Amino acid sequence: MLYVVPTPIGNLGDMSPRAIEVLGSCDLILAEDTRNTGLLLKKFEIQAPMQSFHAHNEHKKVEQIIAELKEGKTISLVSDAGTPGISDPGYLLVNRCVENRIKVDCLPGPNAFVPALVESGFPTDSFVFEGFLPKKKGRTTKIKEILGEKRTVVFYESPHRVVKILEELKEQGGADREVSISRELSKKYGETIRGTVEELLEHFNVNEPRGEFVLVLKGVGRKHNI
């Protein structure tokens, strides 16, 4: 069977005992970056063979992995941080497992968008996760779409595009919209800043964005969950 194993997004204390047990007892670990995962395995004294499995080789490797799973091997998939398959490699392998009736067990665990969504204080009853917005083609259309969304919208953004996306939201008429920006979640200098697009633009024009970011936009016309 295939285990999908979430790993910490910044705080090693978030590595679960079950994740350690599963990684330590499988036949093979597929890692997005074997060097990164090697350090994690060393920290938790986990010994298991490891192979690389990332966006650039997953299409080439997937059939071989499916064959090994069919032979009865237990394989774990990890990414650099958080839950594999969430803006990380994982979808293709899981999809092929499902097609081949191979059991998939995704352990509950670290991930960046759920804590950012909950910390925003915006309605959580219904939300959309957009991953990373398109960088070029389709970006403006997507921004217009998220500004028209009634549900809370969560997305990932790199630090050097935080000011740009706030400017784009403003340009598209969203200056007064409420946003919540979480950075460095679970890490020492983690924080969540809330305000209008305009206010957060002022904030980040003074405080250069550093670290890893999740943006949460309150849905159009939404007040409370309850």
In the complex, the residues that contact ligand SAM under the rule CB under 6 A are: 9-10, 79, 81-83, 86-88, 111-113, 156, 158, 182-187, 212-214
Shortest Cβ 8–ligand SAM spacing (Å) = 9
**CA dist., res. 132 & res. 86, Å (int):** 10
* Integer Cα distance of 178 and 161 in angstroms: 18
Is the Cβ of residue 51 or residue 111 nearer to ligand SAM in the bound state? 111
Query: What's the closest the beta carbon of residue 114 comes to ligand SAM, in angstroms?
Result: 8
Taking the least distance from each CB to ligand SAM, the nearer of 18 and 150 is 18
Least distance in Å: CB of 223 to ligand SAM?
26
Tell the smallest beta-carbon distance from residue 158 to ligand SAM (Å). 6
* Between 66 and 78, CB nearer to ligand SAM: 78
**104 or 220, CB closer to ligand SAM?**
104
What is the number of the residue whose Cβ is closest to ligand SAM? 82
Q: Kindly state the smallest distance separating residue 152's Cβ from ligand SAM, in Å.
A: 16
The residue behind tokens 């159009």 is 220
Q: Long-range contacts for 101-105 (Cβ within 8 Å, ≥24 apart)?
A: 102/1, 102/2, 102/66, 102/69, 102/70, 103/1, 103/2, 104/1, 104/2, 104/3, 104/4, 105/1, 105/2, 105/3, 105/4
Contact 74, 25 (CB under 8 A): yes
Nearer to ligand SAM, 38 or 190 (CB): 190
Residue 72, CB-side half-sphere exposure with 13 Å CA sphere: 0
Q: Pairing between strand 178-183 and 191-196? A: antiparallel
